[in-house]
Amino acid sequence: MDWRKHISVDPKVCHGKACFVDTRIPVSVVLDKLAANINVEALLRSYPTLNREAVQAAIAYAAELARERVLSMPA
């Protein structure tokens, strides 16, 4: 999955936050809803401009960000 086909960052759109291409829907909104256990079907009904590939792209994007960052966790 090449998330770059579905997600863009443009300083002129949503203050430069990662959004789905041709929308003003931040990727973080979809990830927050998935983390809150909202199912994909409900998510797509709420955001009809998105599709399953866009949701999968959000997950792939988050996975790549997680690989790039190293966070120190308190013991």
Q: Is residue 16 included in any domain, yes or no?
A: yes
pLDDT digits (tens, 9 = 90+) for 21-67: 999 999 999 999 999 999 999 999 999 999 999 999 999 999 998 88
Q: Is residue 46 part of a domain?
A: yes
Q: What is the count of structural domains for the chain?
A: 1
74 within some domain: no
**Owning domain of residue 14:** 3-65
In a domain, 75, yes or no: no
Domain assignment present for residue 71? The answer is no
Cβ-count burial 10-42 (b if 16+ within 10 Å, e if not): eeeebeeebbbeeeebbbebbbebbeeeeeeee
Q: Identify the DSSP state of 50.
A: -
Specify the pTM: 0.85
* Residue 56, domain CATH: 1.10.10.10
